[in-house]
Chains A and B, each alone.
Chain A
Amino acid sequence: MAVEMLAYIDRKSPIHQLTGVSKLICFIVWSSAAMLTYDTRILAFLFIFSIVIFIVSKIKVSEVSFVLIFILVFLFINNLAIYLFSPQEGVKIYGSSHVLIEIAGRYDVTIEQIFYQCNVTLKYFAVIPVALLFIVTTHPSEFAASLNKIGVSYRISYAVALALRYIPDVQRDFRTIALSQQARGIDMSKKEKLPIRIKNAASIIFPLILSSLDKIETISNAMELRGFGKGNKRTWYSARPFQTGDYVTLVVFGIIFVTAMVVTFHDGNRFYNPFES
């Protein structure tokens, strides 16, 4: 069957047992911490801790490898762009310049720049495992309920949850369509030249959109016929009450967040500067 990425992966683990709401809050807290701080020590800690959480969740790296590779490629491009557009950012931040390799004027590679970009990468690394976990360990039916509980309108929450749920369906459709187009002689393999392949890919997108629109019409009719969107509020069948584990987790994440912020900002600067003597 088609690869199912970003779909719920069922396991028995402490992470799975947490309610969707606490996972969502933790995810938000975690990414805010990682976003606000540039303190290498904090980032390193967050990174290691997120690896630990990942291991606890019993999710295998191979199960999320596709998305992971996608993010890593994106991260690489991002790093390249930072260097291209602002090669002296590190020097500006840390106030010193140790040239490592001389290239030309402002493109000289400095230790400060490398250090800065390492920090940026570390930020990603600290957030990626947690973000992936949030998506693959939150049961889709709890997903909407959690968003709604923290104040997002239930209509939007449901839309997001449905979109996530249809990812596997769309992937399956994509594959079916690609095969049926190939059966008419449209070649998508590497044998064909790139511009033609891109053009051929369009012949998949069109039917994919059509069949997705079909699905949307059916489901929105079904929802409306059963009273969705009637009131300003709704209740949730699958919402779960908080348990001790949830409280403990929230407190731990709260402490991590506060500590991270205190350590980061106690000297009035978001950056940890190893170049100061």
Chain B
Amino acid sequence: MKKRVIEFNNYSFKYHSQAAPTLHDINITVFEGEKVLIVGPSGSGKSTIGHCINGLVPFSYKGEATGSLKIMGKDAHSIDIFSRSKIVGTVLQDPDGQFIGLTVGEDIAFTLENDCTEQGVMKNLVEETAKMVEMDEYLSSSIHHLSGGQKQRVSLAGVMVDKVEIILFDEPLANLDPATGQYAIELIDQIHKETNTTVVIIEHRLEDVLHRHVDRIIVVDDGLIVADMCPDKLLSSEILESSHIREPLYVRAAKYAGCDVIEEMMPSQLHSFSIETCKDKLLDWFEKANDAVPKEIKLPVLQLKDISFRYAPAHETIKGISLSVEKGEMVSIVGKNGAGKSTLSKIICGFEKPRSGSILFKAQDITGDTIKERSLRIGMVMQNPNHMISKHLVFDEVVLGLIIRGVPENEAKKKVEKVLKICGLYPFRNWPISALSFGQKKRVTIASILVLEPEVIILDEPTAGQDLRHYTEMMDFLAELNRQGMTIILITHDMHLMLEYTTRAIVMDKGRIIADDPPSVILTDSEITRQANLKETSLLFLAKRVGIKEPKEFVEHFIAYDREVRRQWQ
């Protein structure tokens, strides 16, 4: 029988800072060499499980634990965080925040330095490890100049240098664009196969992780283990749906079409998924489709004309961009990191001055307007809520902008209460913001902009850090605002977001616009997706396998259908 490397037995844990336990009586066993995925909505306790394994609980985050946790057969509480780090290597979520060294070599060497390894030995070990992740040519490069995928390799090498028994990935895909995420999963798989290390991945982007085989999926919801089974079995159950975790789209499409997805069909990976039995149902489902939405021509509200911008003289960040957004549109701007998406939004808000070109708002030139003047028309919600929140209480934060504009107190209070209700924050109005989750904070910042009633609102990665339930809530809420006439521009990595909610996607690459089409067109175009580090949607492959001649229409039908289904959820 295989060795048990991690064993939770009737384990419960409560943080000192919280009133209720985060983990209730959980039982998990992980065997040597296994590859296990832990999924769950945010706040479910999945990160806490990770912390228990790597020792941050209880050594950094204090709390009370009952039951037992054994790591490599030993009681975990007897292994301090340093000895723990010899057994469990952790790759953290934030790709930039976790680098300690400045150059690749230095960061990989960090653990060795702490072990007082002699410099010569250290250099050899670092080079060896760097070779495993194919980064040996970059040892003296600065980490900040690496691409997202290269950063992932470095952080992985940093934990592998220690020959750990278990590697724990804490949301490795957060902040990665779809193509880089896919690459990261391949890398994890390759390392797992080559070293036979036990791998534990904590992540909620299920379809992306399933790009490569995993042995087992553990579903956590509300501090309880609700499932612990192989991927094929899990995907043929209803568990994911009831825990608000997004199923792979092709599985969902099959279920919508009325197919009975069973374990034997091997649904965990699209290429192994045997769809012979449900081909007809899918074709049938597609033929019934009739989603044509007539397109009305509306007035442009925001126009950019030949905008160019650069931070440094040699490097043009935005190269002559022209675009027009119509009133009441919901548009997404997508592209890989560094493509110029955020810079473009900053130019629209007046945070940066374009070198050439002009910006029109309802045919009126606003290129020379100050930030404050533009903020009356265009609201901007930043990616990191901590960059915006400046008050202690939720209500005070949301009302701030109104007070500054001199809105009378009574009126301001009414407006704030209305917005808080829409954002689902009304019960929290007198809470300190520090007690809210990341997703809730994000909603506070959206509320604080909405209350100012701008005509156009720009959101930078609005759904980052939100699980499916909150994601749906927030996006439906934005969609509702959109129906009422607000123009919404979303900057995002999230392909589901652009596919499910926006009618038009602008793809940027190297400071230019390389495509401007409906998302279903873009995500079925292999050339554009490759250039922009996106990924073709799995629905496309499903459609091809079923033999549908208009895969683009199939994708559109799925979206329309899915939107309808999820509306009924609430």
Contacts of A165 in B (CB 8 A): 102
Contacts of A222 in B (CB 8 A): 92, 97-100
Distance in angstroms between the alpha carbons of A185 and B406 in the assembled complex:
11
- Do A227 and B98 form a contact, CB below 8 Å, given A185-B401, A185-B404, A204-B390? no
Least Cβ–Cβ distance between B158 and chain A, in angstroms: 7
Which residue in A177, A183, A237 is a CB contact (below 8 Å) of B126?
Answer: A237
Whether B119 pairs with A221 at a CB distance below 8 angstroms is no
Contacts of A204 in B (CB 8 A): 390
Judge if B382 is at the interface, Cβ distance under 8 Å.
yes
Binds A, one of B104-112, B176-184, B201-209: B104-112
Closest to B374 in A: A183
Judge if A223 is at the interface, Cβ distance under 8 Å.
yes
Whether A180 pairs with B159 at a CB distance below 8 angstroms is no
Binds B, one of A26-34, A91-99, A228-236, A251-259: A228-236
A118-149 at interface with B (beta carbon < 8 Å):
139-141
Distance in angstroms between the alpha carbons of A189 and B372 in the assembled complex:
10
Whether A237 pairs with B98 at a CB distance below 8 angstroms is no
Contacts of B94 in A (CB 8 A): 218
Whether A211 pairs with B375 at a CB distance below 8 angstroms is no
Closest to A202 in B: B390
Whether B92 pairs with A186 at a CB distance below 8 angstroms is no
Whether A225 pairs with B387 at a CB distance below 8 angstroms is no
Which residue in B102, B110, B380, B452 is a CB contact (below 8 Å) of A226?
Answer: B110
Count contacts between A and B, CB distance < 8 Å.
156
Contacts of A245 in B (CB 8 A): none
Judge if B469 is at the interface, Cβ distance under 8 Å.
no
Judge if A173 is at the interface, Cβ distance under 8 Å.
yes
Judge if B360 is at the interface, Cβ distance under 8 Å.
no
A154-210 at interface with B (beta carbon < 8 Å):
165, 173, 176-177, 179-187, 189, 202-204, 206-207, 210
Judge if A5 is at the interface, Cβ distance under 8 Å.
no
Judge if B9 is at the interface, Cβ distance under 8 Å.
no
Judge if A102 is at the interface, Cβ distance under 8 Å.
no
Judge if A214 is at the interface, Cβ distance under 8 Å.
yes
Contacts of A210 in B (CB 8 A): 386, 389
Judge if B448 is at the interface, Cβ distance under 8 Å.
yes
Contacts of B405 in A (CB 8 A): 185
Contacts of A250 in B (CB 8 A): none
Contacts of A229 in B (CB 8 A): 82, 114
Judge if B561 is at the interface, Cβ distance under 8 Å.
no
Whether B375 pairs with A182 at a CB distance below 8 angstroms is yes
Whether B98 pairs with A219 at a CB distance below 8 angstroms is yes
Residue from the set A139, A229, A230 with the largest chain B CB neighbour count within 10 Å: A230
Contacts of A68 in B (CB 8 A): none
A1-39 at interface with B (beta carbon < 8 Å):
1
Contacts of B60 in A (CB 8 A): 220-221, 224
Main secondary structure of the interface of A (DSSP, over half): helix
Judge if B113 is at the interface, Cβ distance under 8 Å.
yes
Distance in angstroms between the alpha carbons of A214 and B97 in the assembled complex:
9
Whether A218 pairs with B92 at a CB distance below 8 angstroms is yes
Contacts of A263 in B (CB 8 A): none
Judge if B197 is at the interface, Cβ distance under 8 Å.
no
Judge if B117 is at the interface, Cβ distance under 8 Å.
yes
Whether B382 pairs with A184 at a CB distance below 8 angstroms is no
Residue from the set B60, B113, B382 with the largest chain A CB neighbour count within 10 Å: B113
Distance in angstroms between the alpha carbons of A204 and B391 in the assembled complex:
10
Whether B82 pairs with A227 at a CB distance below 8 angstroms is yes
Contacts of A236 in B (CB 8 A): 113, 119
Distance in angstroms between the alpha carbons of A187 and B17 in the assembled complex:
37
Distance in angstroms between the alpha carbons of A233 and B113 in the assembled complex:
9
Closest to B161 in A: A226
Judge if B384 is at the interface, Cβ distance under 8 Å.
yes
Judge if A41 is at the interface, Cβ distance under 8 Å.
no
Which residue in B85, B99, B375, B387 is a CB contact (below 8 Å) of A185?
Answer: B375
Judge if B349 is at the interface, Cβ distance under 8 Å.
yes
- Do A186 and B404 form a contact, CB below 8 Å, given A181-B390, A207-B388, A218-B92? yes
Judge if B400 is at the interface, Cβ distance under 8 Å.
yes
Closest to A173 in B: B387
Contacts of B351 in A (CB 8 A): 179, 183
Judge if B56 is at the interface, Cβ distance under 8 Å.
yes
Contacts of A211 in B (CB 8 A): 384, 386-387
Contacts of B115 in A (CB 8 A): 227, 230-231, 234
Distance in angstroms between the alpha carbons of A96 and B85 in the assembled complex:
70
Contacts of B110 in A (CB 8 A): 223, 226, 228, 237
Judge if B81 is at the interface, Cβ distance under 8 Å.
yes
Distance in angstroms between the alpha carbons of A218 and B92 in the assembled complex:
9
Judge if B70 is at the interface, Cβ distance under 8 Å.
no
Closest to B51 in A: A221
Least Cβ–Cβ distance between B369 and chain A, in angstroms: 12
Distance in angstroms between the alpha carbons of A183 and B387 in the assembled complex:
12
Whether B390 pairs with A233 at a CB distance below 8 angstroms is no
Distance in angstroms between the alpha carbons of A225 and B115 in the assembled complex:
13
Judge if B67 is at the interface, Cβ distance under 8 Å.
no
Whether B448 pairs with A184 at a CB distance below 8 angstroms is yes
Which residue in B56, B346, B350 is a CB contact (below 8 Å) of A221?
Answer: B56
Whether A1 pairs with B311 at a CB distance below 8 angstroms is yes
Closest to A233 in B: B116
- Given A184-B448, A237-B126, 12 more pairs with CB closer than 8 A: A141-B106, A180-B380, A185-B401, A187-B372, A202-B390, A203-B400, A219-B100, A222-B100, A224-B59, A226-B110, A234-B114, A235-B112
15 of the cross-chain contacts (CB-CB < 8 Å) are: A1-B312, A139-B102, A141-B101, A183-B371, A184-B400, A184-B404, A184-B452, A202-B390, A206-B389, A210-B389, A225-B54, A228-B100, A234-B116, A235-B122, A237-B101
B positions within 8 Å CB-CB of A: 54-56, 59-60, 81-82, 85-86, 89-90, 92, 94, 97-103, 105-106, 109-119, 122-123, 126, 158-159, 162, 311-312, 346, 349-351, 370-372, 374-375, 379-380, 382, 384, 386-391, 400-401, 404-405, 448-449, 452
